[in-house]
Amino acid sequence: MISVALMGHGVVGSGVAEILTTHKQKLFSSLGEEIYLKHILDLREFPESPLADRFTKDFEDIISDMDVRVVIETMGGLNPAYDFTKRCLKAGKSVVTSNKELVARHGAELLQIAKDNNANYLFEASVGGGIPILRPINQCLVANNVDEIAGILNGTTNFILTKMINENMAFEDALKLAQELGYAERNPEADVEGHDACRKICILASLAFGKHVYPDNVHTEGITKITLEDVEYAASWGGVIKLIGSCKPLDGGMMDIVVAPMFVPCTSQLANINDVFNGVMVRGDCTGDVVFYGKGAGMLPTASAVVADTVDCCKHLKTRKRLFWADSTEENVADYKLSKTKVYVRAIADNPADAYNMAQDIFGAISRLSRNNCPENEIAFVTEEALPYGEIMNGVKSLSKLGAEVISTIRIGNL
């Protein structure tokens, strides 16, 4: 029997307790031993829980218990999860987590502490919820140089965009519905402003390319400015708008990494990932594109990944899993303004014909887009040549100075 402890009995934590209970036999068959959930740390009371006798409010009960070999952290947030995780790892206990904020911020340091103490730190659930993605990158695709990772990494924003695309629902109404259905938090900022997706692409990039990528260094745009008009233009172009986190290695150890809404062509696998589902495309030099799809959030899908990591830690109590990346002391993220992309632009102009000519002078060849009931003074186009994003922004400013008021710019994803 291997004793484990759980810190945090919220949505994911209670799912973990449930799976450890309901799937006891299945887990026993895989591990050859029973996993015994000995302590559950939470400040709240759960008198109705069948595991009520295991609850504690005191972290010392876990850290001082020599029987506990694996600690599952599903508290979320940076503190006290960061402090507790460090203390567990320093005590030689392996730690499993779903906490993307913590891994994205302190992953390199925690992996080093785990290594120094011959413990494991696993966090499959931190990206893509129930979708296996970190282990495949780290193990199954290890023979590849990864040329790019791009994904729909946030279920809430994908749900909102899907409602906008399929049901012509305005952003505010779709957000309200996402909140009513329990997908979006009352304060939805981390989702709709792209911060959650940013943490996840940082974890993927750190793992795939071996150096910690800090979220603060990654240019991040959310979906709050996307309108139904933009959605319509994307359809007329032959695609859909998705919030994409993407990273590509550049020469010299630098990385081109961004989180932003993008036009995604209907031919791309990522265009067909709808509702709260997530999808991640890994472009390997041997495999070509490999796409992972599934539920990126929710109690049982996320808990499934946490429990799988727990089993893995139990199987490797004396050995270390080879999952590691180094800290990055110097800036390893390239200036997003240098990143080349094609772009969609929508503007209002008194003289649309002149405005299209000006756009051509500024951006080179463009493809005009149209939509039903388009106001006479509206123009929309997609640039045909990929230009550095900074140049595009300068071009947008020039267009505005010349009398065309730009109201939307969205990158075209090369996906």
Catalytic amino acids? Answer: 200
Give whichever of 129 and 284 is closer to ligand HSE, judged by the CB atom: 129
Give whichever of 272 and 360 is closer to ligand HSE, judged by the CB atom: 272
- Is residue 151 within 8 A of residue 273, CB to CB? The reply is no
- Is residue 292 within 8 A of residue 152, CB to CB? The reply is no
Distance, in Å, from the CA atom of 27 to the CA atom of 1, rounded to the nearest integer, reads 12
Distance, in Å, from the CA atom of 190 to the CA atom of 98, rounded to the nearest integer, reads 16
Tokens of 407: 């109201």
Tokens of 65: 């218990």
CB of 184 to ligand HSE, least distance (A): 7
CB of 155 to ligand HSE, least distance (A): 4
Three-class HEC string of 366-408 = EEECCCCCCCCCEEEEEECCCEEHHHHHHHHHHHHHCCEEEEE
- H helical segments located in 238-368: 299-315, 352-363
Kind and range of the H or E run holding 240 = strand 239-249
φ and ψ of 310, to 5 deg: -65, -45
Give whichever of 215 and 249 is closer to ligand HSE, judged by the CB atom: 215
Give whichever of 183 and 389 is closer to ligand HSE, judged by the CB atom: 183
Residue 292 β-bridge partners: 280
Give whichever of 220 and 328 is closer to ligand HSE, judged by the CB atom: 220
Tokens of 186: 């009352």
Distance, in Å, from the CA atom of 146 to the CA atom of 143, rounded to the nearest integer, reads 9
Distance, in Å, from the CA atom of 74 to the CA atom of 97, rounded to the nearest integer, reads 6
CB of 270 to ligand HSE, least distance (A): 15
Give whichever of 183 and 325 is closer to ligand HSE, judged by the CB atom: 183
The strand pair at 288-295 and 277-284 is best described as: antiparallel
Distance, in Å, from the CA atom of 106 to the CA atom of 199, rounded to the nearest integer, reads 11
Q: Which residues bind ligand HSE (CB under 6 A)?
A: 129, 154-156, 183, 191, 196, 296-297
